[in-house]
């Protein structure tokens, strides 16, 4: 479930791209120093974004900047930015990676998952000692998700149908991400939690959208499969529904993001949230529908991200989705999450 929170590289200036890479390489160095070479194998863009976001928000005084070579780039020195928030991101990376590898083994019997969860067990224990509350929340949220998967599996073998909605399943990963985004208790905890919650739901449902065909073939749990089946029976546009649903989630995420008093590197963060996270969706959507990205909502958003009208971004999102949001989504949004939105 990693690899969705990325930059839209063509839209970044060279200086911005270099700065983003310096945090990426800084996180890699934190993983190597505290968790060894195998720890470096867990490096990903999603937790790089978390480290960058927190660094830009809190502007830590302990940030260091160095240029050095590494095992991947032995003949060139790469810039690396590190601070206490990139270290936090490294700890989070290990926690998430260990649980992900363990689930890959338990759910799909992947040998790589078994091997990596064993190799990372010591690193996981050290990260868990630093953040026991975070580790417990991750475990609890994944246990909730496993319970929903079991509920769906038991329902499929009985006459009593207890369908698990995308909202229910996505909320488990949303709560997990909300806890990780709130790295400390202060005045910015609430918007960070809200941002993490909706980004987490977006990641989970985008991953489910990506895995639709594989899960349908293997019989694996996917909360979007019954939704697609119902919509296909009615001749409705399932892929358009997914675009609308994911747009709504990211609108809520970015609304919380814009509350944060971030000035430094704000354009990099906006690049990721308003454009980068959609690159994978556009690939999946184009493959499923046989169309390109023309006339899509993301093009409309990018046209409106200017210095003069950034504050109106959410109004523009609402204009694009208001005509069909209630018809397509209301059946799959719970009362609890409707209040959050």
- Higher pLDDT, residue 339 or 227: 227
3-state secondary structure (DSSP) of residue 82: strand
**Residue 95 in this model has a pLDDT that exceeds 80:** yes
Please identify which residue in the block is written with the tokens 């601070």. 83
Round the average pLDDT of the chain to a whole number and report it.
Answer: 86
CA 226, CA 121: separation in Å to the nearest integer?
37
Which of the four pLDDT bands, split at 50, 70 and 90, describes residue 319?
very low
**How buried is residue 144: exposed, middle or buried, by Cβ count under 10 Å (0-12/13-18/19+)?**
middle
Which of the four pLDDT bands, split at 50, 70 and 90, describes residue 105?
confident
CB 63 within 8 A of CB 82: yes
Q: Which of 139, 209, 133, 132 is nearest to 170 (CA)?
A: 209
**pLDDT value of position 143:** 94
**Residue 210 in this model has a pLDDT that exceeds 50:** yes
**pLDDT value of position 255:** 98
**pLDDT value of position 70:** 83
CA 182, CA 195: separation in Å to the nearest integer?
10
**Residue 326 in this model has a pLDDT that exceeds 60:** no
Q: Which of 115, 97, 110 is nearest to 35 (CA)?
A: 97
Please identify which residue in the block is written with the tokens 């026991």. 132
DSSP H or E run through 140: helix 132-156
pTM for the model:
0.83
Count of residues making up the chain:
341
DSSP H or E run through 81: strand 78-82
The predicted-structure confidence for 144-158, as pLDDT tens digits, reads as follows: 999 998 888 776 555
**Residue 103 in this model has a pLDDT that exceeds 90:** no
**Residue 116 in this model has a pLDDT that exceeds 80:** yes
- Higher pLDDT, residue 74 or 5: 5
Here the tokens at position 341 are 């939105």
Which residues, 6 or more positions from 168, have their beta carbon under 8 angstroms from its beta carbon? 148, 223, 334
The predicted-structure confidence for 123-141, as pLDDT tens digits, reads as follows: 999 999 999 999 999 999 9
CA 201, CA 193: separation in Å to the nearest integer?
12
**Residue 108 in this model has a pLDDT that exceeds 80:** no
Q: At what angle do helices 14-40 and 121-130 cross, to 10 degrees?
A: 110
What's the angle, vertex CA 62, arms to CA 60 and CA 65, rounded to 5?
A: 105
Region of 320 (left: φ > 0; alpha: ψ -120 to 50; beta: rest) is alpha
The predicted-structure confidence for 279-317, as pLDDT tens digits, reads as follows: 999 999 999 888 755 445 445 445 445 444 444 444 444
- Give the whole-number percent of the chain exceeding pLDDT 70: 83
CA 324, CA 202: separation in Å to the nearest integer?
19
**Residue 258 in this model has a pLDDT that exceeds 90:** yes
CB 245 within 8 A of CB 165: no
């Amino acid at each position: 479930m990693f690899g969705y929170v990325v930059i839209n590289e063509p839209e970044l200036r060279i200086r911005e791209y270099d700065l983003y890479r310096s945090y990426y390489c800084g996180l890699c160095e934190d993983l190597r120093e505290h968790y060894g070479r195998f720890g470096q194998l867990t490096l990903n863009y999603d937790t790089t974004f978390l480290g960058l976001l927190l660094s830009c928000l809190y502007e830590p005084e302990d940030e260091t900047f160095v240029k050095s070579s590494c095992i991947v780039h032995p003949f060139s020195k790469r810039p690396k930015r590190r601070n206490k928030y990139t270290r936090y991101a490294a700890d989070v990376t290990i926690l998430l990676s260990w649980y992900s590898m363990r689930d890959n083994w338990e759910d799909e019997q992947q040998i790589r998952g078994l091997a990596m969860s064993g190799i990372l067990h010591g690193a996981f224990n050290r990260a868990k000692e630093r953040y026991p509350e975070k580790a417990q929340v991750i475990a609890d949220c994944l246990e909730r998700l496993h319970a929903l998967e079991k509920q769906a599996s038991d329902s499929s073998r009985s006459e009593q149908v207890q369908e698990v909605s995308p909202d229910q399943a996505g909320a488990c990963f949303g709560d997990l991400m909300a806890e990780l985004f709130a790295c400390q208790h202060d005045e910015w905890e609430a918007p960070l939690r809200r941002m993490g919650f909706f980004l987490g739901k977006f990641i989970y449902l985008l991953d489910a959208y990506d895995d639709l065909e594989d899960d349908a073939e293997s019989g694996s749990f996917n909360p979007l499969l019954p939704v697609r089946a119902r919509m296909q029976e009615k001749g409705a546009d399932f892929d358009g529904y997914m675009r609308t649903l994911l747009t709504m989630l990211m609108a809520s995420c970015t609304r919380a993001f814009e509350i944060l008093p971030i000035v430094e590197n704000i354009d990099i963060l906006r690049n990721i949230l308003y454009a980068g996270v959609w690159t994978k969706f556009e690939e999946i959507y184009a493959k499923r529908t046989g169309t390109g990205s023309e006339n899509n909502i993301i093009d409309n958003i990018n046209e409106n991200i200017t210095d003069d009208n950034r504050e109106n971004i959410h109004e523009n999102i609402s204009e694009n989705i208001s005509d069909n949001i209630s018809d397509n989504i209301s059946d799959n949004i719970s009362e609890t999450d409707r209040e959050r939105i």
